[in-house]
């Protein structure tokens, strides 16, 4: 645990997040572990003295047991009010704009951005977790990428540490940079108990980009 904390601290220093107003956390796909990673990142940021205002602009597949939702878990990690974390709680486990339509609602980028910024106090660190991948639909008029661009926060990219992730990571970096967004850091989240012999995505990415990398 101590070694991991030291790794987090060194990575945070490289990313510049400790001096930033917040971050936008996105993934290379759905199910790469953004919330699991986000909880730990929030904990480390708090250890460095930051007060976190977590936001999940929209959450699909809202669980009957609220403790199983991303919203509740992020709120608990930050010591925040879950009611302020997510303004759009959607039952269907689909992309947010479609889930909202089924619920008779309409999601817009402007509305999502306003929800992210609401109730954020001066000096708080705005921690925004998107839904799905960077180019996944998030509102009727835009993608996660569009909200990230609207907010203008540094981007943290989470990917599952597996065969095939290099393509997804490099494509997402290029997409973010085309929007003049800063990809402050990349987190490789290993979810599989075993991986192919010789796989080293950390080393391969280091050869191809200069963005601070963290492997979990």
Supply the residues annotated as catalytic: 56
Q: Do 54 and 74 meet the contact criterion of CB atoms below 8 Å apart?
A: yes
Angstrom distance (rounded) from CA 161 to CA 150? 29
Find how far residue 118's CA is from the centre of its chain: 19
Nearest one of 14, 26, 8 to 136, comparing CA atoms = 26
Angstrom distance (rounded) from CA 75 to CA 14? 26
Distances (CA, A) of 63 to 71, 72, 99, 196: 10, 10, 14, 34
Angstrom distance (rounded) from CA 92 to CA 194? 32
């Amino acid at each position: 645990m101590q070694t991991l904390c030291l790794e987090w601290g060194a990575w945070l220093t490289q990313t510049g997040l400790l001096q930033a107003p917040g971050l936008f956390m996105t993934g290379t796909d759905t199910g790469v572990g953004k919330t699991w990673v986000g909880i730990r990142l929030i904990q480390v940021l708090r250890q460095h003295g930051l007060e976190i205002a977590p936001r999940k602009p929209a959450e699909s597949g809202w669980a009957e047991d609220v403790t199983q939702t991303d919203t509740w878990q992020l709120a608990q990690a930050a010591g925040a009010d879950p009611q302020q974390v997510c303004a759009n709680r959607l039952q269907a486990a689909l992309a947010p704009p479609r889930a909202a339509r089924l619920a008779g609602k309409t999601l817009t980028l402007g509305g999502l951005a306003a929800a992210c910024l609401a109730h954020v106090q001066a000096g708080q660190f705005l921690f925004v977790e998107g839904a799905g991948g960077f180019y996944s639909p998030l509102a009727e008029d835009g993608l996660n990428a569009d909200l990230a661009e609207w907010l203008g926060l540094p981007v943290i990219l989470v990917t599952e540490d597996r065969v095939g992730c290099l393509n997804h990571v490099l494509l997402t970096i290029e997409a973010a940079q085309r929007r003049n967004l800063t990809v402050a850091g990349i987190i490789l989240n290993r979810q599989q108990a075993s991986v192919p012999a010789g796989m080293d995505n950390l080393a391969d990415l280091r050869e191809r980009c200069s963005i601070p990398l963290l492997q979990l």
